[in-house]
Structures are given as structure tokens and as C-alpha cells.
Amino acid sequence: MSRKRLRRFGGFLALVLLAAALAGGWLWQRYARFADGPLHGVRAGQTLAVERGDSLPAVVRRLRAAGVETGEMLEWRALARQLKVDGRLQVGEYALAPGISPRELLLAMRDGKVIRHRFTIVEGWNIRELRAALARATPLRQETAGLDDAALMKALGRPGTHPEGRFLPETYLYTRGDSDLDLLRRAQAAMDRALDAAWRGRAPDAPLKSPEELLILASIVEKETGIAEERPRIAGVFARRLRLGMRLQTDPTVIYGLGSAYDGNIRKRDLLADTPYNTYVRAGLPPTPIAMPGADALRAAARPAPGEELYFVAVGDGSGRHLFAETLAEHQANVRAYLQRYRLGRAGQGAAPAAQEAR
């Protein structure tokens, strides 16, 4: 080949290489804009669900169906290979915040940064209230709706166990795809741990024969007061009554025994009715817990405050606090003061309650 032809060929080759470089640069810039630019069409609060067995094309199609401008599948595949995501998408629900880029979304799906929802079991809830709240929780998958309490406990591996008090009040995180049964298993395990810790740390003179009795007493303490510093003191009253063989005479047990028949008032006939939960007519603890006690109530029941007090009654000023007494005469004076405040507060809108705590 002559020198002239060589020069022409060299010039042509240079043009080809330049064109290739320009094309490569343009493709790289386009790829970079795709990978790190915002996905258009994402709305505030929008989410993306990755189901078991989903491929990357299936996820991109789901994005497109939700109104998101996804770009070319080739670009998604290239980015997935770069991030080592292909075949590693984790199942779950992912947040699609406005401004999110394909790179951020794929990294979230690779690392399993799923949305976590919250469900709180409130201290003092009974099993009916807990199950009703679970039924309203979304997106929690419902598996227990057709189960009665006995079938529920069997599904949880505790056949023949009364469900009351078995689930620890606290906030639990869950992800889309989790079920109400999954959450209850966790709450049950948490209660087992909290009850075991309280039982091992109990006072040497605690008048309790078993962790079950501790759970029952803690549930009564939980229902009697929402004031944290009062719990050990109220537990102390009940512990002394148990040692002396006195009846506990506590309204929450009577209310629990009434179940759905309770209309907000305890009547004299309710106090006289001989039922397993009426601690006005039966000595000792009721047969089961009456609510879900929190960890503080468990500790209070395990280590009651020392003292000589045998009685307490609500102050009646809306604070939720109680007046404590060592003697019946002192307690009766506190009850009279409570009834007077109650009547003044209600101003004739209803009868005074028929019962007072630990009278």
C-alpha cells in the first residue's frame, strides 16, 4: 500500500475511532443520567412490592404499570450487573420517594431496605382488644380471623392455655407479608422472656407460688394504675392481703368477669355474684390474668414495695392517682372524700360507683 493510501486509511481509522469514542461517551452519559437521575412519575407515599420469585423485568413492569417512567430495560440490566443485583432482589415493600434514582432503588432491593410498619400492644389491653386491633392493622396479613381463642393458642403452640396476658405490650416492627400470627408469636416470646426475668428477680418473701401467679398479679396491678411509681405500692397492698388471707377486692377483676356485659358501671349485684373473677367474694388470685401487663407491672408484682398499707382508693381528681391507707378507718375516710369529689364532678349526671378498690 502506498504512503498516500496509508495516510487516507489512517485518517479514516481515526475518524472511526473518534466516532466510536463520541458514541461511547454519549452512551455513558445517557447511562449515567439513567442510573443516577430521578425516576419521573413517582408520587409521594408510593411503594413498590417485590414478591417471591419476581425477576428484574417483572419489577420494572410493575413500576411502569404504576405510572413511573422506567426507561429502557437494557439500562436496568446493565445497572443490575454493575451493582451485582441481578437475581438478588429481596422480597418486601420498598419506599418510592420522589427523586429516587434507579441506582438507589436497586441498592435498596439488593440490601433488603424494606418499609417497616409498627404495631403497638398497649399495656392493659385484654385479648379481645388485642385481636380487634390486629384485625385493623394493615398491611398485616390476617391468618387468625377464623380462629377462636382456643384455636389461636393451639396455632401458637400453647394448646389449652388461656390467651389472656400472654403477649408483652410494646411496639413491634413488621414488614409486608408478615401475618398477625407471626406478630403474636414474637409478642408471646417477648412475654415469656419478661416473665422469666421478673420471676428470677422476685423478692424472697413474694407470696407467689409460680410465674403464672406472678403474671396474674401483674395484670391486676396493670389495670389498677397507669402511674408508674404507684405500681410497686399497689402490688405491695395486694401482696400483704395475699399473705394475710384477705380478699383482694379489686374492681378490674369483677369487670373482667362481666366481659361484654360490663356497661361502665359496677352494681351491687355484680359484687355479690359468685364468679371465678369476683375477688370480693373469693379469696386469692383469679384463675387467669385479666389483661396484658407490661414489663414494669411484672417487676412491681415480683418486688412489691414494703409497708403496712392494706387499702387504696382513687383520688377522684382525674389524675389517676390513689390514696393509700393502713387502717380501715383511714380508708373509709378516703372513700368518703372520693365519693364527695365524684358527686361534685358528675354534678348529678350519674350514680356513684358501687365499689372501691381494695376496700
Residues facing residue 93 across a β-bridge: 49
Q: Is there a single domain that holds both residue 314 and residue 249?
A: yes
Residue-by-residue DSSP string for 245-297: T-----HHHHHHHHGGG--S---HHHHHS--TT-TTTS-S--SS-SS---HHH
* pTM for the predicted model, two decimal places: 0.81
Q: Is there a single domain that holds both residue 257 and residue 307?
A: yes
CB 245 within 8 A of CB 283: yes
Nearest CA among 57, 98, 302 for reference residue 200: 302
Question: How many angstroms from the chain centroid is the CA of residue 306?
Answer: 33
Q: Is there a single domain that holds both residue 225 and residue 303?
A: yes
Q: Is there a single domain that holds both residue 230 and residue 335?
A: yes
Q: Torsions phi, psi of 130, nearest 5?
A: -65, -45
- List the pLDDT tens digit at each of the 359 positions of the chain: 566 555 555 554 555 544 454 455 555 567 778 899 999 999 998 999 998 889 999 999 999 999 999 888 989 999 999 998 877 788 899 999 999 999 999 999 999 999 999 999 999 999 999 999 999 999 999 999 999 999 999 999 999 999 999 999 999 999 988 999 999 999 999 999 999 999 999 999 999 999 999 999 999 999 999 999 999 999 999 999 999 999 999 999 999 999 888 888 888 999 998 999 999 999 999 999 999 999 999 999 999 999 999 999 988 887 889 999 999 999 999 999 888 887 776 655 554 454 445 55
Distances (CA, A) of 98 to 41, 46, 201: 8, 9, 51
Q: Is there a single domain that holds both residue 164 and residue 287?
A: no
Q: Is there a single domain that holds both residue 95 and residue 143?
A: no
Q: Is there a single domain that holds both residue 210 and residue 189?
A: no
Helix (H) or strand (E) holding 171: strand 171-174
Within-domain flag for 354: no
For residue 84, the tally of other CB atoms under 10 A from its CB is 10
Q: Is there a single domain that holds both residue 154 and residue 218?
A: no
Q: Is there a single domain that holds both residue 214 and residue 320?
A: yes
Distances (CA, A) of 70 to 29, 98, 110: 17, 14, 18
Tell the burial category of 205 from Cβ atoms under 10 Å away from its Cβ (0-12, 13-18, 19+): exposed
CB 252 within 8 A of CB 322: no
Q: Is there a single domain that holds both residue 342 and residue 322?
A: yes
Domain that holds residue 332: 203-346
- Rounded-to-integer distance, Cα 104 and Cα 114, Å: 13
Nearest CA among 189, 175, 215, 225 for reference residue 302: 215
Q: Is there a single domain that holds both residue 161 and residue 268?
A: no
Q: Is there a single domain that holds both residue 251 and residue 294?
A: yes
Within-domain flag for 26: no
**Of the candidates 158, 193, 228, which is a domain's last residue?**
193
**Of the candidates 193, 227, 250, which is a domain's last residue?**
193
**Of the candidates 111, 127, 145, which is a domain's last residue?**
111
Q: Torsions phi, psi of 153, nearest 5?
A: -65, -30
CB 282 within 8 A of CB 247: yes
Q: How many domains does the chain have?
A: 3
